[in-house]
Amino acid sequence: MGGFIDGFGVVLQPGNLLYCLIGVVIGMLIGVLPGLGPAATIAILLPITYGVEPVSAIIMLAGIFYGAQYGGTITSVLLRLPGEASSVVTVFDGFALAKQGRAGTALGIAAIGSFIGGTVSIIGLTLLAPVVASVALDFGPPEYAALSLFGVLLVATVGNGSRLKAVIAAGLGLLLATVGRDTFTGASRFTFDSLNLADGIDFVPIAMGLFGLGEILYNLEERHHKVQTPAAVANIWPSRADLRQARGAIGRGSVIGFVLGVLPGGGATLSSLVAYAVEKRRAKEPERFGRGAVEGVAAPETANNAAATSSFIPLLTLGIPANATMALMFGALLIQGIAPGPQLVSEHPDLFWGVINSMYLGNILLLIMSIPLVGVFVKILKVRPAVLAPITVLITLLGVYTVANQVFDIFLVIVFGVLGYLMKKFGFEPGPLVLAFVLGSVMEIAVRQSLLIFGGNPAGFFTRPISGTVLVALIIVLVLPAVRLLVRRRKEKELV
Amino acid sequence: MSIDQESLRAEWAEDRPPHAGPWSQFGAAVVAGVVGLCGVIGSLTLGLGRLTQPGPGLWPFVVCVVVTVLSIALALVGRHGTDTEKFSRSSVLTAVAVLTLVVFAAVLPLIGFELPSLLLTFVWLRFLGKESWVSSVAISVGTVAAFYVLFVLILQIPLPRLI
């Protein structure tokens, strides 16, 4: 409890307050601007975090992440262009409300729902995280091997697009992580006798290339939607009747978001879809959905914020990132010389509680910004992508150079940028690759240490209760959909 | 006024370029498979060791076998996927963009960051972004000036520079 209260002391330091504000403002901005998502933005800003205190850096990056969830709503409602994937379902009812001249109501409900969802999730995080961390203190290499495999494979299979491709991308990430010196034997692996690769590939150029530059290159191909004039926003405060109608949706959305956010591969997008579906199924008149149902905005917006917050739990307690953005946070922590894991809460309580408590504050800042200042953010929509692209590219290239003052890193970013672009063109998600790269060395070390413990017998993983359970769960998750598909096909055949 | 969710999805889908057909799927699988296969060979030359005493090649070997097997599976079953995108004339823009980036990286250590940055932003604005001459010049000069103030004067980062 002492750590929790001290955490507020950390947040309230003027420097950290400022970084929290910077983070949520940037988050709102990029949430509003279609194109760059939170992952790309965090990747591009990674070099800046080198010069900043660890606590401030993570507070800022976290602010970007949950701030983007607020910002993404604005374009969904006003332009029916989801700024973020997690706001896609908000479009259905949000834009319908805007067409009825109730854009303000939609934005207001979304902001209030986001605030409540975020706050409920932070309370959950505050209570749950230390407990998980204390349990995880007993974890050995086999548990970590199983958990990281679970994380990588779930992220790969839950994402949109081809699962096969996602797992292949994850495999390539694991392979890239092996480049450099082998920690056990000292042998050089896949370095092609290059001195620049002798210590392995740095996380920063990979993340900046695949997420940042790759996305910019991909967006260059004129896929910008026609710019529409945003609907007028008036009367942002929802009426009491609206609030009463949205109450249940906000409550359920908070819980759904919190739970799905904790699971690997879950997170904001999935939880917004599930929360919307739940409300539609529960509704007495489901036909209202898609025609401006207030719950249709409240549920997904509440859930995506709750999930964005709770996805910090696996990272801060186990050191296992639950999604691609958390993989970037993991990288940012490593840059600061901090290994996320169960020791974090005892070894760096200022960071642990400082970051969590900054979210209380960040959510209040976002609520303030999204209700009265919504007009300002709408104006930002007028910035043309063509102007933004070269500026972000320059930040990326100069930024990665400043990390180690090496031109080689600029070339690496370009290589991974092109790879990211091609992956998108060929239907491969870059997320699983980055996540697998981040977890790669942890996973390899854990697997090899486990093999030593088990005397070379891989079946040993199943003899320990936690690693065994995780692996069995993984097998069920992976095999179940395939079995279901087979059963359905057989039934269809019988019907024919 | 209702919004038909299907039509909305269709509208979003229209913004995507047409999918590139079975050969692109096959090509993607082959490239991934070749990477996996090269990894397998590389791991074997590193030495697998034994399960009780894993060599440096064992882990990458396992990973590459998985990648190779899944790539073969992709080549066999993934042909009907529609998640690849056709390269269009605007893909040339991307190629030009990459070229400017390579030039930027190559000349940066020789002549400092100012001129390459100016050139890069200008080319992206005027030729890739179809901005007007005036705004291209103004925005690129303004951007580089802002970067100079931020990186050199305020943050004092040792960038290679002309001035």
pLDDT bucket at B81, cuts 50 / 70 / 90: confident
pLDDT bucket at B19, cuts 50 / 70 / 90: confident
Residue whose structure tokens are 């070379």: A456
Residue A310, pLDDT score: 92
Residues 6 or more apart from A274 whose CB is under 8 A from it? A256, A260, A303
Residue A234, pLDDT score: 63
Residues 6 or more apart from B114 whose CB is under 8 A from it? B144, B148, B161, B162, B163
CB B125 within 8 A of CB B133: no
pLDDT bucket at B1, cuts 50 / 70 / 90: very low
* Cβ <8 Å between B8 and A92: yes
Read off the tokens for A483.
Answer: 């079995």
Q: Express each pLDDT in B85-141 by its tens digit.
A: 888 888 888 999 999 999 999 999 999 999 999 999 999 999 888 889 999 999 999
Residue A233, pLDDT score: 67
* Cβ <8 Å between A397 and B101: yes
Residue A162, pLDDT score: 81
Region A238-259 average pLDDT: 92
| CA–CA gap between residue A311 and residue A22 (Å, rounded) | 21
pLDDT at A184 over 90: no
| CA–CA gap between residue A379 and residue A235 (Å, rounded) | 18
Q: Which residues of B touch A410 (CB under 8 A)?
A: 104-105, 108
* Cβ <8 Å between B54 and A222: no
Q: Express each pLDDT in A79-137 by its tens digit.
A: 777 767 788 888 889 988 888 888 888 888 998 999 999 999 999 999 999 899 988 88
Which of A160, A426, A450, A478 is most worth mutating to test chain B (most B CB atoms within 10 A of its CB)?
A426
Residue B84, pLDDT score: 86
| CA–CA gap between residue A125 and residue A262 (Å, rounded) | 10
Which of B8, B9, B35, B59 is most worth mutating to test chain A (most A CB atoms within 10 A of its CB)?
B59
pLDDT at A45 over 70: yes
> How far apart, in Å, do the first and last CA atoms of chain A sit?
64
* Cβ <8 Å between A458 and B147: no
Q: Express each pLDDT in A451-465 by its tens digit.
A: 999 988 889 899 998
Residue B7, pLDDT score: 65
Residue B2, pLDDT score: 45
Region A152-179 average pLDDT: 86
> From the CA of A463, how many Å to the nearest CA of chain B?
17
Q: Which residues of B touch A384 (CB under 8 A)?
A: 129, 131
| CA–CA gap between residue A31 and residue A27 (Å, rounded) | 6
DSSP strand pairing (A180-181 vs A188-189): antiparallel
Beta strand ranges found along A178-298 (DSSP E): 180-181, 188-189
Which of A384, A394, A457 is most worth mutating to test chain B (most B CB atoms within 10 A of its CB)?
A394
Residue A102, pLDDT score: 86
Residue B13, pLDDT score: 64
Nearest to A171 among B70, B85, B105 (CB): B70
Region A327-350 average pLDDT: 88
Q: Express each pLDDT in A271-291 by its tens digit.
A: 998 999 999 999 888 888 888
Residue B86, pLDDT score: 85
> From the CA of A97, how many Å to the nearest CA of chain B?
9
Higher-pLDDT residue of A228 and B153 is B153
Residue B31, pLDDT score: 94
| CA–CA gap between residue A292 and residue A91 (Å, rounded) | 10
User: Which of A475, A479, A474 shows the shortest CA–CA distance to A147?
Assistant: A474
Distance of CA A222 to the CA centre of its chain: 26
pLDDT at A367 over 50: yes
Which bin fits A180, alpha (ψ -120 to 50), beta or left (φ > 0)?
Answer: left
Higher-pLDDT residue of B159 and B34 is B34
* B 116-155 near A (Cβ less than 8 A): 117, 120-121, 124-125, 128-131, 135, 139-140, 143, 147, 151, 155
pLDDT at B47 over 70: yes
Strand partners, A188: A181
* Cβ <8 Å between B35 and A172: yes
Higher-pLDDT residue of A86 and B9 is A86
DSSP helix/strand/coil, A180: strand
Residue A259, pLDDT score: 92
Residues 6 or more apart from A281 whose CB is under 8 A from it? none
Average pLDDT, chain A: 87
> From the CA of B95, how many Å to the nearest CA of chain A?
9
CB A377 within 8 A of CB A28: yes
* Cβ <8 Å between B3 and A291: yes
Strand partners, B19: B85
Residue A358, pLDDT score: 92
DSSP helix/strand/coil, B85: strand
pLDDT at B38 over 90: yes
pLDDT at A316 over 50: yes
pLDDT at B60 over 50: yes
Q: Name all contacts of A452-457 with Cβ < 8 Å and 24+ positions apart.
A: A452/B52, A453/A140, A453/A141, A453/A142, A454/A142, A455/B52, A456/B50, A456/B51, A456/B52, A456/B53, A457/B51
Give the residue from chain A lying closest to B146, CA to CA. Answer: A391
Residues 6 or more apart from A226 whose CB is under 8 A from it? none
Read off the tokens for A47.
Answer: 């070099």
Region A232-254 average pLDDT: 85
User: Which of A381, A330, A362, A383 shows the shortest CA–CA distance to A70?
Assistant: A362
